[in-house]
């Protein structure tokens, strides 16, 4: 990776953040809740989205992928697009 390549630097930064965020030490990402069968969408997101059953959704910049997977649990067909190698939430 060249230090002159802003895209590569940004990607590396988010790769590092994803590993930190996947540890979820503060509970902000609600990983334990998700792993227990819940989802990560907030009340306001749920209200705004409504019923997503059978909808086709493109989720851009999905980060850890938990919101995308939560939409799948609600019945949506979801395609995710992000530039991280670590696409799904996996605890290191």
Summarised one tens digit per residue, pLDDT across range 2-49 is 567 998 888 888 888 888 988 999 999 999 999 999 999 999 999 999
* 59, 78 contact by CB (below 8 A): yes
Enumerate the H helices of the chain as residue ranges: 6-23, 31-35, 43-49, 66-73
Nearest residue to 10 via CA among 79, 61, 67: 61
**Predicted pLDDT of residue 85:** 64
**Predicted pLDDT of residue 92:** 32
Summarised one tens digit per residue, pLDDT across range 49-85 is 999 999 999 998 888 889 999 999 999 999 988 777 6
pTM of the model as a whole: 0.79
**CA angle at residue 32 from 89 to 22, to 5 degrees?**
30
Q: Please give the Cα distance from 77 to 10 (Å, whole number).
A: 29
Average pLDDT taken over every residue of the chain = 86
């Amino acid at each position: 990776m060249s230090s002159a390549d802003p895209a590569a630097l940004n990607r590396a930064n988010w790769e590092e953040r994803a590993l930190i965020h996947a540890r979820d030490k503060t509970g902000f990402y609600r990983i334990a809740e998700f792993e227990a069968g819940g989802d990560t969408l907030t009340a306001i997101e749920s209200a705004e989205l409504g019923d997503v059953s059978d909808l086709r959704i493109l989720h851009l910049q999905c980060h850890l992928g938990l919101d995308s997977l939560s939409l799948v649990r609600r019945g949506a067909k979801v395609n995710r697009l992000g530039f991280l190698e670590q696409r799904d939430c996996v605890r290191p």
